[in-house]
């Protein structure tokens, strides 16, 4: 596996698409410059200043697109290899519970992800694998008794909605553009295709089932029918050493657009062993399972992972004398009994508990202020600052600061 938190295996297809689009635009631009130069020379026997200026601008833009594509293409391939490596390591052959047979039933202590209620009459079409430990939370989008629609009904729905869309598009464009002979057929074709697609979407059978256990997580996605699993993932906490998270809210002209989230479990070499990354819109408590449930599942997995690490905390302290949390690059923090070590730029500064007077989080940045100290990293008052997203196992870091140093986080 390739180790980096800068690449995102979940986005490899988007990166690849952007790379090829940039290369195509750059190539087309270069071809246009050659054609324009040849045409100008053929007609006038020379290239005037205006032609040279235009060719120069287009050439510069084309070279920029080509350079951008050349940068993105290796990145896309790297992300693709990461994604395939993660899938190969976590994909399992799984037995699906046949329809009508006894399904797995959540125990009394099992909740929905994020503490939500369990789905009423939920059909857990794959039981939780024993290797993830005792189930803590579970989710399924499939309700008992739900079956794929018959192929005849699917074709009928698609045909009817397509025909209605075609008629509606034809009538609307005939009224809006009575003198344009092509407007009505084009409008009808567009709405007809849209109606047909809606008919197919209405009949789509796709459901997810996921679990968080004391020792790992599992997720299954079936399409077309319950027996056809498109995804069957099982990840065990013992295969990773740290968790890195990132949450990015996107705004446009001051208006909220979407939120990207990413949870990367990595091993001792920083190689990604499992990843959950997606996008949701609006509140994370929304009701759309495909937009929001992956985030709730990832958050529940983070809590279970933190508890897993806490149960092994005493052993780690006995071996190393402190709990280490990696930052960006080769930087790190180490929290021990009554001491905090900050390593940056090849230097390590030790802060005694009695010298630490503030542990603060504001706008995605942690600040630790100490009395005295060997070096002032940033800001007044001997402050050590680091980004929230740069701290591996950030939830555990906050807990350990409280347990070992007796310092609570202020926000």
Cα 220 → chain centroid:
17
How is 14-55 classified by DSSP, letter by letter?
A: HHHHHHHHHHHHHHHHHHHHHHHHHHHHHHHSS--HHHHHHH
Q: 101 φ, ψ to 5°?
A: -90, 170
For domain 314-405, the CATH architecture is: Roll (2.30)
Confidence of residue 193 (pLDDT cuts 50, 70, 90): confident
Nearest to 1, CA basis, from 94, 90, 93, 132: 90
Which pTM was predicted?
0.74
pLDDT in tens, 334-380: 999 989 999 988 889 888 888 888 899 998 899 998 886 444 444 44
Q: How confident is the model over 197-218, as a mean pLDDT?
A: 84
Domain ranges for the chain, please list them.
9-90, 113-145+206-309, 151-202, 314-405
- Residue 283 is predicted with a pLDDT of 57
Average pLDDT of the chain, as a whole number = 83
Q: How confident is the model over 253-257, as a mean pLDDT?
A: 81
Lowest mean pLDDT among 14-23, 262-271, 275-284, 305-314: 275-284
Nearest to 245, CA basis, from 295, 209, 282: 295
- Residue 92 is predicted with a pLDDT of 76
Residues with Cβ within 8 Å of 234's Cβ and at least 6 positions away in sequence, in order, are 90, 92, 129, 131, 132, 216, 217, 218
H helix count then E strand count, the chain: 7, 14
Confidence of residue 323 (pLDDT cuts 50, 70, 90): very high
| Model confidence at 139: pLDDT above 70 | yes
Alpha carbon of 185 to those of 127, 175, 195, 233, 336: distances in Å? 51, 13, 15, 47, 74
| Model confidence at 170: pLDDT above 80 | yes
| Model confidence at 105: pLDDT above 50 | yes
């Amino acid at each position: 596996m390739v180790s980096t938190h800068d690449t995102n295996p979940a986005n490899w297809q988007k990166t690849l698409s952007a790379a090829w689009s940039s290369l195509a635009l750059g190539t087309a631009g270069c071809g246009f410059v050659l054609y324009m130069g040849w045409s100008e020379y053929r007609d006038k026997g020379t290239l005037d200043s205006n032609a040279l200026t235009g060719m120069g601008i287009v050439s510069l833009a084309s070279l920029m697109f080509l350079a951008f594509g050349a940068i993105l293409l290796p990145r896309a391939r790297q992300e693709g290899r990461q994604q395939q490596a993660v899938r190969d390591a976590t994909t399992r052959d799984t037995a699906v519970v046949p329809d009508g047979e006894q399904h797995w039933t959540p125990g009394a202590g099992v909740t929905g992800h994020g503490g939500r209620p369990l789905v009423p009459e939920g059909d857990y079409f794959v039981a939780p694998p024993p290797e993830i430990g005792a189930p803590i939370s579970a989710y399924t989008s499939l309700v008992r008794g739900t079956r794929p629609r018959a192929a005849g009904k699917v074709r009928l729905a698609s045909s009817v909605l397509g025909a209605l869309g075609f008629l509606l598009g034809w009538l609307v464009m005939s009224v809006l553009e009575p003198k344009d002979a092509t407007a009505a057929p084009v409008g009808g074709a567009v709405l007809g295709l849209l109606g047909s697609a809606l008919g197919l979407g209405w009949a789509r059978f796709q459901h997810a089932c996921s679990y968080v256990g004391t020792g790992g997580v599992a997720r299954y996605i079936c399409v077309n029918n319950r027996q056809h699993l498109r995804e069957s993932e099982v990840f065990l906490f013992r295969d990773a050493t740290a968790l890195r998270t990132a949450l990015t809210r996107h705004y446009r002209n001051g208006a909220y657009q979407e939120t990207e989230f990413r949870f990367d479990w990595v091993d001792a070499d920083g190689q990604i062993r499992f990843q959950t990354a997606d996008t949701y819109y609006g509140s994370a408590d929304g009701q759309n399972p495909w937009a929001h449930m992956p985030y709730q599942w990832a958050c529940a997995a983070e809590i279970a992972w933190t508890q897993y690490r806490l149960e092994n905390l005493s052993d780690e302290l006995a071996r190393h004398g402190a709990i280490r949390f990696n930052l960006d690059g080769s930087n790190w923090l180490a929290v021990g009994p009554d001491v905090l070590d900050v390593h940056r730029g090849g230097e390590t500064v030790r802060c005694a508990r009695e010298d630490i007077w503030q542990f603060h989080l504001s706008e995605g940045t942690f600040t630790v202020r100490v009395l005295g100290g060997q070096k002032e990293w940033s800001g007044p008052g001997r402050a050590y600052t680091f980004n929230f997203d740069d701290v591996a196992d950030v939830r555990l870091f906050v807990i350990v600061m409280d347990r070992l140093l007796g310092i609570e986080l202020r926000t």
